[in-house]
Amino acid sequence: GENVEQHPSTLSVQEGDSAVIKCTYSDSASNYFPWYKQELGKRPQLIIDIRSNVGEKKDQRIAVTLNKTAKHFSLHITETQPEDSAVYFCAARTTGGGNKLTFGTGTQLKVEL
């Protein structure tokens, strides 16, 4: 089945700096890659996603890049703010597995003042 690895597990940045979180996946059949932000005790919130036919997508301060050949995808947050502090999860969807999402292990992002 699909395996998604995520790095780093914790990331601390200064307010205004950029943050980058990286994920790799194992199944070349995966075709959809969402990123979620989860605050303590809350549901995951979709912040951006990318499909396998696109290499990059941007939404204001958030961008995602996908390298299908290397099976890598990354989340980029620019001009970080304290409210960006949360746990971020990447995920990959495999069409052959009933469209289920496999999640990465998560990154605790802390934006310091």
Partner 1 sequence: GAVVSQHPSWVICKSGTSVKIECRSLDFQATTMFWYRQFPKQSLMLMATSNEGSKATYEQGVEKDKFLINHASLTLSTLTVTSAHPEDSSFYICSATDDLYGYTFGSGTRLTVV
- Provide the residue count of the chain: 113
Residue 105 binding partner 1, by CB under 8 A: yes
Q: Which of 42, 67, 79, 82 binds partner 1 (CB under 8 A)?
A: 42
Closest CA to 4 of 111, 108, 102: 102
**C-alpha–C-alpha distance, residues 44 and 37, integer Å:** 6
Amino acid of residue 40: L
CB of 43 or CB of 113, closer to partner 1: 43
> Minimum CB separation from partner 1 for residue 103, in Å?
5
> Minimum CB separation from partner 1 for residue 41, in Å?
7
> Minimum CB separation from partner 1 for residue 46, in Å?
7
Three-state DSSP at 40 gives coil
Residue 106 binding partner 1, by CB under 8 A: yes
Q: Which of 23, 104, 109, 111 binds partner 1 (CB under 8 A)?
A: 104
Closest CA to 37 of 51, 47, 50: 47
